[in-house]
Structure 1
Amino acid sequence: MARRRRKQTLPADPVELQITALSHDGRGIGRIKGKTVFVDSALPSETVKFVYTQKRGKFDEGRTVEVLQPSVERVQPQCAQAHLCGGCSLQHMEPQAQIAMKQGVLMEQLQHFGELQPEEVLAPLTGPIYGYRRKARLGVKYVAKKESVLVGFREKRNSFLAEIDQCHVLAEEVGLKFPELKQLVMSLQARSTIPQIEVAKGDDAVAIIVRHMEPLTDQDQAAILSFCQQHNLQLYLQPGGNDTVHKVWPEGEARLSYGLPEFGLNMKFHPTDFTQVNQDINQDMIRMAMDFMDIQPGERILDLFCGLGNFTLPLATKAAEVVGVEGDDAMVVRGRENAEHNGLNNVSFYGADLTKPFDDQPWGRGGFDKILIDPPRSGALEIVSKMTVFKPKRIVYVSCNPATLARDAGELKKQGYKLLKAGVMDMFPHTTHVESIAVFEPE
């Protein structure tokens, strides 16, 4: 019989600690009797009181309960539950200090994993720090003992939902309506079988997707529909997996959209599609990437991990030909839809597993003048190690993980490419998520 793990007994009294550094995940770092302690909501140069949340062999973890000596970089969070909610981890830190931290993480990772220093460190891209988030998956839980409903994000470092009434980083059409959402769920017969509500915002509308584990009664469905009509939210229901998501209201195409006016484009997407959560930064990021690509007449461009064409179609407004390659078949379809919707006929979309050889792929034949790549967090080592066979004159790499960007940059260095520029883009203010961009050219 397997032994049941004994619940850990932690010291109950707060402990005073001098914070000397900040971890990559935004926690203050201090030492007690030579042992490292990671403390939530603490900043370098601060003296805090914290309570232990976990004791481990090589390090301990804790949560700040009182700041005795604050850092000059400390600010008052807009959210009263910022210390608890896992949706944000840096609201207590001055925004410019957040950016400096992220830039430091990028440069440190480039040096550590790739032994690289860019010839030019780019000025950070910044935008609105609240109300920016257009995509989110909110947890929902009916608490029978309290006869209440929780809606929001998980608490820091555990699976419990944080008890919050507002989310200031989420689009206000939903982020400021948590009490109304809770009241809605509480009124439903199905309140104990609704685990999540997904949010997606376009330029013209906001949609919610209500996941329900059991069929909804006519009364429940009418209540949800009435709520969405009252608050002008498009309604989608999800009775099973992702393939069961369907639009209920209003009638019409199951698409939202966002504009890229600088390029005369309108991008359509399904609420479950991957899109950049921060439209202001997305606009600036596309503009920056296009500037770095410096497309000349007659050039042929390759866009890897192209999604629904967020970069592909702007590239197609300048280049002679653009090829977009994506591993998600649904996104390939969406890219083709968007090309047709925008009247572009010099762009082709292909589905392919970009972790595998591409020698026999139709898109892999012939050369490309320049390449843009925007991979997932795992990076793109497999494709990066081979794509220089195209002999591109320039590579622009957009990354959501500085560690894998640095690793892949090191591989490009081995293949004779130098790192011209690199910098961060604040796609997720108040979080430790680091979005970055890098430019490479042959030595």
Structure 2
Amino acid sequence: MLNLYKAKPKTSLTGKTLTFSIDSSDYEVHGISKHEQKIAFISGALPGERVQAKVAEDKAGYLKALSTKVLQASSLRITPPCQYAAQCGGCQLQHISAANQRGLKQQGIDKLICHQTGLTSLPWQPMLTAADSGYRRRARIGIWYDKKQRRFSVGFRQHADKQIVAVDSCMVLSPLLAPVFAALNQALPQLKDATAVTHAEVLEAGGTAFVIVRHVKPLTVTEQQGFVAAWPEAVWLGEATAGEFSYWNTAVTPQYHLAEQQLTLQFSPDDFIQVNAAINQQMVTQALDWLQLGSNDTVLDLYAGIGNFSLALAQRAKTVHALEGVAKMVQQLATNAKLNGLSNVEAWQADLHLAWPKARWNKAEYTKVLLDPARAGAQGAVEQVVKLKPAQILYVSCNAATFARDAKVLLQSGYSLEKICGVDMFAHTSHLELMALFSR
């Protein structure tokens, strides 16, 4: 008689609370530990600590967990300055001072890049930093209506959860935008259909507060004016599910300034702009400093957006060719060039991750290239860039993991890493952006 052995199905650890001793941290400042030969990433835990943590993911090779109780604390741990820090998912590192946050983030990124590229050391430059509170000029605010309790929650999502944490204030939000929570809490209960509004977005531009109300069902004029009355100093806009904007009071074109370059950039409320104005100014200034452009330089600016870097580059270079994937933003970039009297900027639409077309911009010779991709990085584009053989490539990254992947391509293609610096765009979060200069 043949007996077939069937292995018992492994019980998942997801949802269970375990005890971990934290050995180190990764590039997002998650504590690193081990459990039964699996590596474990523990958010909210620091090197040297012993914590209890609830497992959120149990995969074949790793665990992810959220710290719930600190049994043995690190000397780096502090009391969070925000009363909502324990629940709100907006900030992940308020249990560490801003200075130590930066140090841990850079240490983790250094290890990641060296491991991925084979480099033994990185030419770090001073980090770009600014105020660690009141810095956000843009934020998305969650809105949830509890049908059982018949009340709204206005705030931000919890850590690793879709549930909204109701807040009355946000320490990292620009002071100009602070009235938004009270205004929404005043206006929302006046809606006939409480589920009509799903979230809102606040934006500071040119000293004006804008509020974009995202609604999935039509709002009456009376309901719209209820929002306006709750905060009359702000510019209120509605956005329906079709993606169309409508002004509910004064129609104003948002714009921001790069004071050091004496530039003004207009944009649509749904265009991408950097959320930290002070850091953005430093990034543009440093890009000009590192690239050392002259009147004979021809520059290719990839993922150019509305021209945040393009216009400043054009002030010093002979020609700037700017590439952007979103047609509307390409048009806005061209408008901004005219607005600032720059005739040496040409803008095109292109999906830079696909095979590059035989366009005029792809036939030119470039001395310098700047690329500022989204979190997915510039895979595909970097292979095309190295074929152009520019003398220098300045890579602005918002994701260290995809930067490390793309940097390896550049290094293998004959470029060397001349400079790199951290950019603390989002203080109190696990994110650290990067600027890196490569030379042939």
TM-score between both structures, scaled by the size of structure 2: 0.91
CA distance in 1 between counterparts of 2:61 and 2:411 reads 35
Is residue 50–residue 62 contact of structure 1 (8 Å, CA) maintained in 2? yes
Is residue 236–residue 247 contact of structure 1 (8 Å, CA) maintained in 2? yes
Match of 1:127 among 130, 134, 137: 130
Match of 1:398 among 385, 396, 399: 396
CA distance in 1 between counterparts of 2:221 and 2:416 reads 62
Going from structure 1 to structure 2, the CA distance change for 1:418 and 1:23 (only over 3 Å counts) comes to closer
CA distance in 2 between counterparts of 1:117 and 1:76 reads 36
The aligned runs of 1:75-114 (5 Å cut-off) are 75-114=78-117
Is residue 110–residue 122 contact of structure 2 (8 Å, CA) maintained in 1? no
The aligned runs of 1:166-315 (5 Å cut-off) are 166-175=169-178, 177-229=180-232, 232-242=233-243, 244-251=244-251, 253=252, 255-315=253-313
Q: Deviations over 1:24-53 (max 9, x none)?
A: 443333345655544332222123344555
The match for 1:389 is: 387
CA distance in 2 between counterparts of 1:286 and 1:178 reads 32
Letter in 1 for 2:373: P
Letter in 2 for 1:275: I
CA RMSD of aligned residues (A): 2.3
Displacement, 1:69? 3.1
The match for 1:320 is: 318
Going from structure 1 to structure 2, the CA distance change for 1:186 and 1:8 (only over 3 Å counts) comes to farther
Letter in 2 for 1:281: I
CA distance in 2 between counterparts of 1:408 and 1:60 reads 27
CA distance in 2 between counterparts of 1:308 and 1:440 reads 24
CA distance in 1 between counterparts of 2:42 and 2:189 reads 35
Letter in 1 for 2:415: Y
Match of 1:358 among 333, 356, 359: 356
Residue range with higher mean Cα deviation, 55-64 or 219-228: 55-64
Letter in 1 for 2:292: D
Is residue 129–residue 424 contact of structure 2 (8 Å, CA) maintained in 1? yes
Residue range with higher mean Cα deviation, 171-180 or 359-368: 171-180
The match for 2:423 is: 425
Displacement, 1:409? 1.4
Match of 1:380 among 378, 381, 399: 378
SS in 1 for 2:164: coil
Percent identity over the alignment is 33
Displacement, 1:107? 1.7
Q: Deviations over 1:222-258 (max 9, x none)?
A: 21121231xx11111012232x11222213x4x2111
CA distance in 1 between counterparts of 2:57 and 2:88 reads 18
SS in 2 for 1:349: strand
CA distance in 1 between counterparts of 2:14 and 2:305 reads 48
- The gaps in structure 1 that reach 5 residues or longer are 1-5
Match of 1:163 among 162, 166, 172: 166
Is residue 379–residue 405 contact of structure 1 (8 Å, CA) maintained in 2? yes
CA distance in 2 between counterparts of 1:418 and 1:55 reads 39
Residue range with higher mean Cα deviation, 71-80 or 270-279: 71-80
Give the count of matched residue pairs: 430
Going from structure 1 to structure 2, the CA distance change for 1:56 and 1:370 (only over 3 Å counts) comes to closer
SS in 2 for 1:389: helix
SS in 2 for 1:262: helix
Q: Deviations over 1:271-320 (max 9, x none)?
A: 11100010111001111111011001221111111110000000011111
Is residue 40–residue 83 contact of structure 1 (8 Å, CA) maintained in 2? no
Displacement, 1:8? 8.6
- The gaps in structure 2 that reach 5 residues or longer are 1-10
